[in-house]
Amino acid sequence: MSAKAILDELRAAASEEKRAVLSRFFKSGPDEYGEGDRFLGVMVPQIRAVAKNHAGASALTEDALLASPWHEARECGLFLMCNRFTRADEAERAAILARYLAAAAAGRVNNWDLVDLSAPTLVGQFLADKPRELLYDLARRPSLWENRIAIVSTLHLVRRGDLDDAFRLAEKLLHHPHDLMHKAVGWVLRECGKRDADRLRTFLRKHADSMPRTALRYAIERFDADERKRWLATPSAKSLLKSFPPVARADAELLILGSMPGEESLRKAQYYAFPQNAFWRIAGALFGFNPALPYPRRLTALKKAHVALWDVVGTCRREGSLDSSIKDAVPNDLPALLARCPRLKLVVCNGGASCASLRRFFPNFPLPVVRLPSTSPAAARLSFDRKLELWRSALEPYFHIGTFDP
């Protein structure tokens, strides 16, 4: 059975009404996490049935389906891959895992449903009797979906009573900027709590006052009502958030604007401190410095390159790190910064939320403004290489671009 024949079978089960529902449900609109994804309009039980009917499809067919622009085709390819995995010997399982990781790195396992149906089997089950460094490597990647693969893969281990990696990864990913990761982390913690409630309580005593409320709510779902109320009443460290002073010299020619620092940045008092944020890798590649330098030296490198750094929002309230959660925003005094830096000739907005905030608060902003893809892993549609390409092409006409390869 060829990939084309399977795709034709999926098309036959599709409906326009379901296509519209799925496009909304999986957030495929502009600046949403599934931006640009395309749907036929086929529901999961139908996709499972197609995969079951063609369980003997070849690895080439699976790969072709995973390369499809259609969400349901990729989902069917993953069902086929998981079915093959359960029948395979160890050598073939390793080959399946390699193909899966390559597809994920290429941005083909690119929504939460695709991750959740595949990661526990293809990664978690494979690693059950092996070292787990792969999980930590995935957790360090700039891709939201590879980060989610890391934490969701631990569900297979947790169900075997092996909780250590789940707790360690939950701690590492607890302050991820995207609420899809807050949900995934909370989900895994809840499953850990089914096996060891006291260990979950120990984790919560350490983190409940700072963890995203979404993750906390998911984690405590299995506690009784009174205990849930007590945990949710934990005083939150988040009240009024304040951004940082600008990084700028009077000779700055380029101003890069974010919206508001995320949780990890606020905690460390550093711009773009979340490890999976690609900002410093992109800045290093563009302006010729090593992104692994100590933070003060990175700031110095930006200033020497005549680059200024700030955020549009000065104060706000926000749960988590998503720009969409910002409330009661008050802007920074950008006109004062422009007066201090009279040589500024271009403003780059790091993502759509920054650009929207700038237009909202400063509708008559006097300098040219370029909106570029967000460097946050929450902007999951584009790979690092594609983001770097877009930043480079936008800035090369204005500035000398460095040659450092991060």
277 belongs to the catalytic site: yes
- Are 247 and 309 contacting, i.e. CB atoms less than 8 angstroms apart? yes
- Are 310 and 255 contacting, i.e. CB atoms less than 8 angstroms apart? yes
Residue 118 domain-assigned (yes or no): no
| Total tally of structural domains belonging to the chain | 1
* CATH number of the domain that residue 316 is part of: 3.40.470.10
Residue 292 domain-assigned (yes or no): yes
- Tens of each residue's pLDDT in the chain, 406 residues: 689 999 999 999 999 999 999 999 999 887 788 888 999 999 999 999 999 999 889 999 999 999 999 999 999 999 999 999 999 999 999 999 999 999 999 999 999 999 999 999 999 999 999 999 999 999 998 889 999 999 999 999 999 999 999 999 999 999 888 889 999 999 999 999 999 999 999 999 999 988 888 999 999 999 999 999 999 987 664 567 889 999 999 999 999 999 999 888 988 899 999 988 999 999 999 999 999 999 999 999 999 999 999 999 998 888 766 666 788 889 999 999 999 999 999 999 999 889 999 999 999 999 999 999 999 887 777 888 999 999 999 998 776 555 444 4
The residue range of the domain holding 249 is: 241-395
Catalytic residue among 277, 290, 350, 364: 277
- Are 255 and 369 contacting, i.e. CB atoms less than 8 angstroms apart? no
Residue 319 domain-assigned (yes or no): yes
SS3 309: strand
Residue 122 domain-assigned (yes or no): no
Which backbone phi and psi does 249 adopt, to 5 degrees? -110, 160
Please compute Rg for the chain using Cα positions: 23
Residue 188 domain-assigned (yes or no): no
Residue 54 domain-assigned (yes or no): no
pTM assigned to the model: 0.76
Residue 358 domain-assigned (yes or no): yes
- Are 26 and 42 contacting, i.e. CB atoms less than 8 angstroms apart? no
Residues 6+ apart with CB under 8 A from 35: 27, 28, 29, 381
Residues 6+ apart with CB under 8 A from 136: 150, 169, 172
Residue 272 domain-assigned (yes or no): yes
Helix 90-105 crosses helix 59-66 at what angle (to 10 degrees)? 20
